Amino acid sequence: MSSTSSAPLVELTGVSKHFGGVQALKNVDLSVRNGTVIGIAGENGAGKSTLLKVLTGVHTPSAGEVRYHGVTQRGLSPAVAKSAGVAHVAQELSVFEHLSVLDNIILGNAPLRLGMIDRRRAAMMAEEALAVVGAQVHVDDMVRDLGFADRQLVEIAKALVGDPELLVLDEPTSGLREGEVAHLIELMNSFRDRGKSVLFITHRMEEFFAATDQMFIMRDGRSVALLRTEETSSDEIVSLMIGGRMASLFPDPPPRDEQAPRGPLLKVTDYSVTGTNIRGISLHVDHGEILGIAGLAGNGQTELLQGLGGVRGSHGHYTVDGISGPFRTVRRAMDAGVVLVPEDRKRHGLVLPMRVSANMTLPHLRKLSTWGFVRRSEEHQLVDSMMSTMQVRPDDPSLPAEALSGGNQQKVVIGAALLTDPAVCLFSDPTRGIDVRTKFEIYSLMQRLAARGKAVVLVSTDLAEITNLCNRVLVMSHGRIVAELSGSDVTEHRITQASFQAVSQ
């Protein structure tokens, strides 16, 4: 078959994909023409990422056809896709931590001179790509020293080398700061204006409406609708995603347990975190309270939780229900009743090739063992109970964690943290990259923990989560607490105002 100028840039016809007995895609059709930005929406596990991996040659379809410019692709691979002008930024970052930013960006695209890499030209290519995505990193920086957001930008910059015709973005904004998200949306719009196309997955509705022309909705591995973005609404999209309507994106809090304890549970005074700019922090969290930590990204919120959770060294006065810290290790923090749900589940929360059951019990093997042998029956009971509580799907604890969708992986991470029945739960961006229904379930979980008298601390890049879930909010800037808001003052406007006023001082 020869290509034609009128043929779609990429077209999928009757595509199905199964992994053993799991049917991930079922007879999906999708056509991408030049000069369009298409958003792909669906719950976790709907098949979105699998669809993009089939389209870019990562997975071979079990049935159906993939066509580029009207030509059916046989033996499609990522290398073939790349040479055809299809660039893929996967949900799982593929940067190499022990290489520089430059080496990551030019990997597979290195310019040659006399048979050797032209480092000067390579640096120019990398700097240009970094400038396009708005990254504030140097080409000689080591990737291992970068934060999650900067790693994400390096991944996107890598995809832009070679000026692709189709940019395939799988949750590229999940770890980005607000200004970087706006810059990426501008980049997508400029792609469309130049006659190029973008496929874009996100779980943030406002990003779909800011960036896309069309919405492709998936549910249970099938395509259920293709809509013009300007003619639809977030309610319609969510309804199509879940097969029904949600009364609200945020649950009503349950009644507080009258028998639950009250008063301060966690308290720190003159608290500092080693290796950060966090100095002289004082705060408290009460039994039954959800405390939000807000502020512009990169101002110490995540590092504060890492210090409280024993991931980073810290010093100062720190007590949890009468137990004195600081806790120099995660183990000591857990023994004191403090657990941390990390912001990057794949790097810090899971061992992806291991079974779901092993991931859940890994932090607790000491308590599940006798003379070095794990009490398997007890382990199985704990895992089955927690998987039921967290509603992990599929409910098969023998599956490797990497086989689960992002939302279900996050449920496993949270379930592992809760197995010890902690007194204090620290959540660092717990809903990053997950769908609206799973978000609702996690919000409900946090509210139930608070109703039982637990202390919950939430750091989130989504201000709507902070304002709808938290009883009280601390705003941080440059490692300091610059404002405390409660009651009617907990609004996005007041939080943003406090954040920017602190930066300008």
CB 465, CB 489: distance < 8 Å: no
Select from 63, 56, 67, 57 the least CA-distant residue to 12.
67
Does residue 359 come out as left (phi exceeding 0), alpha (psi in the -120 to 50 range) or beta? Answer: alpha
Q: Which residue ranges make up each domain of the chain?
A: 10-242, 264-337+421-504, 357-419
Q: Residue 427: which H helix or E strand, with range?
A: strand 424-428
Q: For domain 264-337+421-504, give its CATH number from 3.40.50.720, 3.40.50.300, 3.10.20.70, 3.40.1170.60.
A: 3.40.50.300
Distance CA(397)–CA(13), nearest Å, equals: 34
pTM, two decimal places: 0.75
CB 466, CB 294: distance < 8 Å: yes
Backbone phi, then psi, for 10, in 5-degree steps? -140, 140
Kindly calculate the radius of gyration of the chain based on its CA atoms and give it in whole angstroms.
24
Residue-wise pLDDT tens for the chain (505 aa)? 344 557 899 999 999 999 877 789 999 999 999 999 999 999 888 899 999 999 999 999 999 999 999 999 988 999 999 999 999 998 878 889 999 999 999 998 888 888 888 999 999 999 999 999 988 899 999 999 888 788 889 999 999 998 899 999 998 887 777 788 888 999 999 989 999 999 999 988 899 999 999 999 999 899 999 999 999 998 899 889 888 776 678 999 899 888 888 899 999 999 999 999 999 999 999 999 999 999 877 789 999 999 999 999 999 999 999 999 899 999 999 999 999 999 888 888 999 999 999 999 999 998 899 998 999 999 999 999 999 999 998 889 999 998 888 889 999 999 999 998 999 999 999 998 788 888 999 999 999 999 999 999 999 988 889 999 999 999 999 999 999 999 999 998 899 888 887 655 5
pLDDT at 94: 84
Q: What's at 56, amino acid-wise?
A: T
> Could you write out the DSSP letters of every residue in 129-191?
HHHHHT----TTSBGGGS-HHHHHHHHHHHHHTT--SEEEEESTTTT--HHHHHHHHHHHHHH
pLDDT at 126: 94
pLDDT at 162: 83
Q: Residue 376: which H helix or E strand, with range?
A: helix 376-390
Domain covering 10-242: architecture: 3-Layer(aba) Sandwich (3.40)
pLDDT at 58: 93
Long-range contacts of residues 103-111, Cβ cutoff 8 Å, at least 24 apart: 104/143, 104/154, 104/158, 105/129, 105/130, 105/139, 105/154, 105/157, 105/158, 105/161, 106/161, 107/158, 108/82, 109/161, 109/162
Do the domains 264-337+421-504 and 10-242 match in fold?
yes
- 10 Å Cβ neighbour count for 3? 11
